[in-house]
């Protein structure tokens, strides 16, 4: 009897020890068992939000749980990023990563997180070109003519953006840095008022996201001089790239997912696999094309390299332009 009790005691102790083993990998195997949320740093309706909802819907159908999109605008995307960086690393809080994350790393001096350290890459899904466009009153018909025009009129050409520190703003600063041109930056509170003034001739040029401007370009209300990606856009096949005149120039919006650092690798792999499957789906490809975007499939490591490279690139531009937000 004494021997029996000793065996029972040892078995109970072993069971208790097993119960203390972390269940992260078991949870990863069953992921998701409840509703994950995708945190977006901008209001509903913009390109960032549209991308989040497209892929959130795909993941919901594929993984059997509703992926909820949570819009947390403010502080140039930093409120959303901080919320995800400080969330439990369990795969249930996902960040919609966008160009602001790579710009803000050097633009903002007092962030409560380190993006490259605190957010683990999951995967990218789309690159969207910006378009270098002018009011038709500007005499330049191509990038070379525009550079010559600006150099003949230093600081007299107004380059508009949707706000300080946006990809539209930094695309213009990169152009100025690489061409040695001097233009006056005019920031707006969003793309809509910026385009209104560009159409009215109050400002002369911008580097807008293609989806916002393509209608005005095709209607002849704005003149596209170039797209900012390394390759020409299928939506504007006759419009050259900036790099065809300014070698090495590349500036574009990209979107993807990130999760808090420490999230189990198995969960990251599940999400990455589903993103890559979506990028092979004809329906999803068609929707991305409507946004003027090009799919960017790849591994988490591929996306991490893209984010790191973009962060390094924009840091040089931020420093050259002497930009900062306290």
To 10 degrees, what angle do helices 99-107 and 78-85 make?
90
Residues 140-157: tens digit of each pLDDT: 999 999 999 999 999 999
Instruction: Tell whether 120 and 258 lie within a shared domain.
Output: yes
Domain count, the chain: 2
Residue 23 has pLDDT above 90, yes or no: no
Task: Identify which has the larger pLDDT, 206 or 321.
Answer: 206
Instruction: Tell whether 195 and 221 lie within a shared domain.
Output: yes
Instruction: Tell whether 226 and 135 lie within a shared domain.
Output: yes
Instruction: Tell whether 52 and 91 lie within a shared domain.
Output: yes
Instruction: Tell whether 261 and 123 lie within a shared domain.
Output: yes
Position 165 in a domain = yes
Position 17 scores a pLDDT of 44
What is the rounded CA–CA span in Å between residue 155 and residue 152? 10
Q: φ, ψ for residue 82 (rounded to 5)?
A: -65, -40
Position 44 scores a pLDDT of 83
pLDDT band at 19 (very low <50, low <70, confident <90, very high): very low
CATH code of 160's domain: 3.40.190.10
Residues 269-318: tens digit of each pLDDT: 999 999 999 999 999 999 988 887 889 999 999 999 999 999 999 999 99
CA 268 to chain centre: 18
Helix (H) or strand (E) holding 185: strand 184-187
Quote the percentage of the chain above a pLDDT of 90.
74
Residue 7 has pLDDT above 50, yes or no: no
Residue 4 has pLDDT above 90, yes or no: no
Q: Which of 119, 95, 138 is closest to 256 using CA atoms?
A: 95
Residue 5 has pLDDT above 50, yes or no: no
Q: Which of 217, 244, 271 is the last residue of a domain?
A: 244
Q: φ, ψ for residue 55 (rounded to 5)?
A: -80, -30
Residues 89-123: tens digit of each pLDDT: 999 999 999 999 999 999 999 999 999 999 999 99
Are the C-beta atoms of residues 319 and 174 closer than 8 Å to each other?
no
**Cα dihedral angle (228, 231, 235, 239), rounded to 10 degrees?**
70
Indicate the range of 24-38, 47-61, 194-208 predicted with least confidence.
24-38
Q: Which of 293, 207, 205 is closest to 256 using CA atoms?
A: 293
Residues 142-196: tens digit of each pLDDT: 999 999 999 999 999 999 998 888 889 999 999 999 999 999 999 988 788 999 9
Position 123 in a domain = yes
Position 102 scores a pLDDT of 96
Residue 85 has pLDDT above 60, yes or no: yes
Residue 18 has pLDDT above 60, yes or no: no
Instruction: Tell whether 111 and 82 lie within a shared domain.
Output: yes
Q: Which domain holds residue 176?
A: 129-244
CATH code of 68's domain: 3.40.190.150
Q: Please, what's the b/e burial string for 43-54 (b: 16 or more CB within 10 A of its CB; e: otherwise)? A: eeebbbbbbbbb
Instruction: Tell whether 177 and 134 lie within a shared domain.
Output: yes
Instruction: Tell whether 114 and 141 lie within a shared domain.
Output: no
Q: Which of 228, 244, 260 is the last residue of a domain?
A: 244
Q: What is the mean pLDDT of residues 201-207?
A: 97
Instruction: Tell whether 156 and 199 lie within a shared domain.
Output: yes
Position 209 scores a pLDDT of 86
Position 18 in a domain = no
Instruction: Tell whether 45 and 104 lie within a shared domain.
Output: yes
Q: Which of 189, 210, 244 is the last residue of a domain?
A: 244
Residues 207-256: tens digit of each pLDDT: 998 888 888 999 999 999 999 999 999 889 999 999 999 999 999 889 99
Position 113 scores a pLDDT of 97
């Amino acid at each position: 009897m004494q021997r029996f009790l000793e065996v029972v005691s040892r078995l109970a102790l072993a069971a208790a020890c097993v119960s203390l083993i972390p269940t992260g990998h078991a949870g990863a195997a069953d992921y998701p068992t409840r509703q994950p949320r995708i945190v977006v740093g901008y209001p509903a309706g913009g390109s960032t939000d549209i991308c989040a909802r497209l892929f959130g819907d795909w993941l919901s159908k594929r993984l059997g749980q509703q992926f909820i999109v949570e819009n947390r605008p403010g502080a140039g995307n930093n409120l959303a990023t901080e919320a995800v960086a400080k969330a439990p690393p369990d795969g249930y809080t996902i960040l919609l990563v966008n160009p602001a994350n790579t710009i803000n790393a050097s633009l903002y001096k007092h962030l409560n997180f380190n993006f490259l350290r605190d957010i683990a890459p999951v995967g990218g899904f789309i690159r969207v070109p910006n378009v270098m466009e002018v009011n038709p009153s500007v005499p330049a018909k191509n990038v070379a003519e525009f550079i010559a025009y600006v150099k003949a009129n230093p600081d007299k050409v107004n380059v508009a953006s949707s706000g300080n520190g946006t990809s539209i703003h930094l695309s213009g600063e990169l152009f100025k840095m690489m061409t040695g041109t001097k233009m006056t930056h005019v920031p707006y509170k969003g793309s809509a008022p910026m385009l209104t003034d560009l159409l009215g001739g109050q400002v002369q040029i911008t580097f807008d996201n293609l989806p916002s401007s393509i209608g005005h370009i095709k209607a002849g209300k704005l003149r596209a001089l170039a797209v900012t990606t390394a390759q020409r856009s299928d939506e504007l096949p006759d419009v050259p790239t900036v790099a065809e005149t300014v070698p090495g120039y590349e500036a574009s919006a990209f979107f993807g997912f990130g999760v808090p650092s420490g999230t189990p690798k198995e969960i990251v792999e599940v999400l990455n696999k589903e993103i890559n499957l979506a990028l092979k789906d004809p329906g999803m490809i068609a929707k991305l094309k409507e946004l003027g975007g090009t799919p960017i499939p790849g591994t988490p490591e591929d996306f991490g390299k893209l984010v790191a490279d973009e962060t390094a690139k924009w840091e040089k531009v931020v420093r050259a332009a002497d930009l900062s937000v306290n």
